[in-house]
Amino acid sequence: MTSEEEPLHWSLFSSDDDDDYANDNGEEESLDRSGDTNTSSVDVLTVSSPSSHSESPTWNSFSEEDDPHFVPLLHTWIWWYHKPNRQSRGPWSENLHRVTMIDDAVTFWHFYHNLKRPSELPVGADYFIFKADLTPKWETPENARGGRVAVSFNRSNVSSQQGVNMSWLKFIIAVLSGQLEFLCSYINGIFVSVRSKGYKVGLWLHSDSNDDDKKQFREVFKILVGKEHPAFYKPHIKVLR
């Protein structure tokens, strides 16, 4: 059995159902261009707060209410967990574990409510939710020429912990519910990373994404996270060198 097929780590499960709600080295390109007003079709994106999602049409079929028909999502996704292991000298993928497959909203909410929030994960850990035919590895063809768009939160206060938890959920909802379908072909997955200095949360972009796509993602990030957390783009090729 490979590391990707290992059973779920029970340590990931949260001790409660409380819904209240990184800096790694490398060059990052700021995506904040205050003078650029080209929002394209991004203006259609509206994300409500989780407390009111059952009343908002933007959440579509992504309601927490159990649907007896289990309406499928537009894409099938895999939730991954990268477990920090400082003792391991093997490849990074040895500590990458598949948590579950997500093909409907009911499955997502079940695991979301029972797994730990990003702020509860140990330093060095990562969550990924990727399209089912892709894996969160820099060197794969779909990822190698792409990169990641992310925002950072420090770990110095409770509001930052709430911020990363909320942003993680907002990105998941926006992507899995189909609100970003006009950009979904360029989205390989969603990620959140926990590091000693802070958190990073955002999207991995496909190798075919271009500068125009990055501009649209910049507007998406402003809507989802706010202007106080500017987005940065980091090409995977700089990590692979």
Q: Is residue 86 part of a domain?
A: yes
Number of neighbouring beta carbons within 10 Å of residue 193: 25
- Matching residue, tokens 């692979």: 240
pLDDT at 185 over 80: yes
pTM to 2 decimals? 0.76
Q: Is residue 135 part of a domain?
A: yes
**CATH number, residue 171:** 3.30.760.10
Q: Is residue 26 part of a domain?
A: no
pLDDT at 108: 94
Q: Is residue 19 part of a domain?
A: no
pLDDT interval class at 63 (50, 70, 90)? low
Separation CA 220–CA 225 (nearest Å): 8
Number of domains in the chain: 1
pLDDT interval class at 89 (50, 70, 90)? confident
73 Cβ partners below 8 Å, 6+ apart? 102, 103, 104, 105, 176, 177, 178
What is the distance in angstroms between the CA of the first residue and the CA of the last residue of the chain?
A: 30
Q: Which regions of 47-122 does DSSP assign to beta strands (E)?
A: 72-82, 96-104
Q: Which regions of the chain does DSSP assign to beta strands (E)?
A: 29-30, 72-82, 96-104, 126-131, 147-154, 187-194, 198-205, 232-235
Q: Is residue 37 part of a domain?
A: no
Q: Is residue 2 part of a domain?
A: no
> 126, 56, 77, 76: which is closest to 97 by C-alpha?
126
pLDDT at 22 over 90: no
pLDDT tens-place string over residues 100-138:
999 999 999 999 999 999 999 999 999 999 999 999 998
Q: Would you state the structure tokens that stand for residue 75, as one six-digit string? A: 């894409």
Enclosing domain of residue 216: 75-241
* Arithmetic mean of pLDDT, 71-85: 92
Question: How far is C-alpha 140 from the chain's CA centre?
Answer: 18
pLDDT interval class at 170 (50, 70, 90)? very high
Separation CA 203–CA 221 (nearest Å): 10
Q: Is residue 210 part of a domain?
A: yes
Q: Is residue 227 part of a domain?
A: yes
Separation CA 216–CA 211 (nearest Å): 9
